[in-house]
Amino acid sequence: MKNIKRIFIPLFIVLSIFAVNLSCSNDDEIVLTPTKITEDTSGDTETTTGEVEGSEGEITLYKVDGENITKVQDYKVSGKNLEYQKDVVKHKEIWELVKKIVPLDQRKKMGEFLIYSGETSGSAGFVIEMERDLSVWKMGIAIDYAYVDGFNAGGELAYTIIHEFGHILTLNNTQLDATVTIENCKNYFPGEGCSFEKSYINELHSKYWNDIWSEYQNAKKDESTQEKFYNKYKERYVTQYASTNPGEDIAEVFATFTTLKEKPEGKTIAEKKILLMYNREELVNFRNHIRKNLALRGKGSTAAFELPQPGKWKQANTFGNLSKTKCRH
Ligand SMILES: [Zn+2]
């Protein structure tokens, strides 16, 4: 058994590096974790521990099965991260919040769930496709950030999960065709595939990015020009982070649409972007589902969770990676 593992581990690492290169054009991002699913016919969750050392703060990887998560592997960690690894109650607590936010039919698009340390990468969460056809996704949540000042303090974690769910919602195979290359794509091409004409991201891009696209292409070369671009077009974006690229924009619009109590009037382009989501019945249903589950409305006056005010989210006033549509936020 040991020998088999030794043969397999390097292979998995090679595969994971290959997968990262497919989806992320730079190498300074979260490395897709090696996936080593152990035989588990009895429902026993015992797995190998600590044999693989993640390069991006990986702590524990789970397989997602709709409602439940099953441990695939613990990574080799030490110190604080080892304490986080042992604290499976926290892993489950985070997962329960994911379940409240991501409805079951959408959760079926999630194949894996990673608990990692945000300190290494500086990110609070990420999603990455597990299948090239974009049908299955992995979500990662930084456990150290999830517990700053207590679990989900200020609603930061809930906001992060909503934002990440926004990526899955807008980049999956019902929205993009991964078999169409950029050269053959008539619509917006976020990197993972060609967006369908009626997809959420293509609508957003054609209405509110297309007219400033060449300026944006020029602006995204470095952070100072990106900042000038943002300052010029501030009224188009729900947060500064949203101006990173259309992929981050739509995730931020979805998070703002969900967390903002009132329907905006549509006075600014940023508000008009939110209204695009009000036009989509299924998105309104997701919004209602999340708000109800987080007790943002309905029974009693005490909200179970508080969410950051739009624009007050910790990473709201930063820029993300300019060349990516997701991977990290
Ligand atoms: Zn993001």
Cα 10 to middle of ligand 1, angstroms: 30
Cα 87 to middle of ligand 1, angstroms: 26
Q: How far apart are CA 32 and CA 34, in angstroms?
A: 7
Average pLDDT over residues 257-271: 93
pLDDT score at 55? 85
Cα 303 to middle of ligand 1, angstroms: 26
Mean pLDDT of the chain: 82
pLDDT score at 130? 96
pLDDT score at 22? 31
Beta pairing partners, 49: 74
Cα 6 to middle of ligand 1, angstroms: 35
Cα 319 to middle of ligand 1, angstroms: 10
pLDDT score at 120? 83
Residues 6+ apart with CB under 8 A from 261: 296
Q: pLDDT tens for residues 224-237?
A: 999 999 999 999 99
Compare 22 and 187 and report the one with higher pLDDT. Answer: 187
Cα 185 to middle of ligand 1, angstroms: 23
Cα 242 to middle of ligand 1, angstroms: 9
Domain boundaries, the chain: 37-151, 158-329
19 has a pLDDT exceeding 60: no
299 has a pLDDT exceeding 60: no
Cα 2 to middle of ligand 1, angstroms: 38
Whether the full predicted model's pTM is greater than 0.75, yes or no, is yes
SS3 readout for the chain: CHHHHHHHHHHHHHHHHHHHHHHCCCCCCCCCCCCCCCCCCCCCCCCCECCCCCCCCEEEEEEEECCEEEEEEECCCCHHHHHHHHCHHHHHHHHHHHHHHCCHHHHCCEEEEEEECHHHHCCCEEEEECCCCCCCEEEEEEHHHHCCCCCCHHHHHHHHHHHHHHHHHHHCCCCEECCCCHHHCCCCCCCCCEECCCCHHHHHHHHHCHHHHHHHHHHCCCHHHHHHHHHHCHHHCCCCHHHHCHHHHHHHHHHHHHHCCCCCCCCCHHHHHHHHHHCCHHHHHHHHHHHHHCCCCCCCCCCCCCCCCCCCCCCCCCCCCCCCCCCCC
Cα 126 to middle of ligand 1, angstroms: 7
Cα 259 to middle of ligand 1, angstroms: 16
pLDDT score at 250? 98
pLDDT score at 295? 76
Cα 326 to middle of ligand 1, angstroms: 5
Identify the sign of the CA torsion 234, 240, 245, 251.
negative
92-104 burial, b at 16+ Cβ within 10 Å, e below that, comes to ebbbebbbbbbee
Cα 40 to middle of ligand 1, angstroms: 33
Cα 246 to middle of ligand 1, angstroms: 10
Roughly what angle, to the nearest 10 degrees, separates helices 246-259 and 281-293?
A: 60
46 has a pLDDT exceeding 60: no
200 has a pLDDT exceeding 80: yes
Cα 59 to middle of ligand 1, angstroms: 21
Kindly report the length of the chain.
329
pLDDT score at 313? 60
Average pLDDT over residues 44-56: 66
Cα 315 to middle of ligand 1, angstroms: 10
129 has a pLDDT exceeding 60: yes
Q: Which of 66-80, 87-101, 293-307 shows the lowest per-residue confidence on average (mean pLDDT)?
A: 293-307
Q: How far apart are CA 141 and CA 263, in angstroms?
A: 29
30 has a pLDDT exceeding 50: no
Compare 77 and 27 and report the one with higher pLDDT. Answer: 77
pLDDT score at 51? 80
